[in-house]
Amino acid sequence: MDGFEFININDLGLCISQSKANEIKEIMGVMPYVAPELFKGGKYSIATDVYAFGILMPYHNTAHDPQLAIQICESNLRPQITEDIPQFYYNLMQKC
């Protein structure tokens, strides 16, 4: 990454201001990337955004259905961080 001091990662598909985040009454986003606290009635925040970003690898063999939401909430289901991914992804997922 020669020449870069920092990198911005943006996804403006669900972009709203932080002040509007408290007004959201429904869960938005792709289920495997939604922070578990949102399924339990929590509010969108910087922390839920960091969680979503940190879950880089999808649940590729799992249906994105209500059963997945239940598993995320009740058993704290998380995707496995395997050794065969690039080290920088592994480190990033651990931090997020």
* Average pLDDT of the residues in 73-88: 77
Phi-psi region of 3 (alpha: psi -120 to 50; beta: other; left: phi over 0): left
In our burial notation (b when 16+ CB lie closer than 10 A, e otherwise), range 40-56 reads: eeeebeeebbebbebbe
83 inside domain = yes
17 inside domain = no
User: What is the total count of domains within the chain?
Assistant: 1
25 inside domain = no
87 inside domain = yes
pTM of the model: 0.58
Main-chain dihedrals φ then ψ at residue 19, nearest 5 degrees: -65, -30
54 inside domain = yes
pLDDT by residue (tens digit) across 15-59? Answer: 667 677 777 778 877 877 888 888 888 888 888 888 887 776 666
**Domain span at 65:** 31-95
For residues 22 and 78, give the distance between their C-alpha atoms in angstroms, rounded to a whole number.
25
The residue type of 68 is L
pLDDT score, position 30: 80
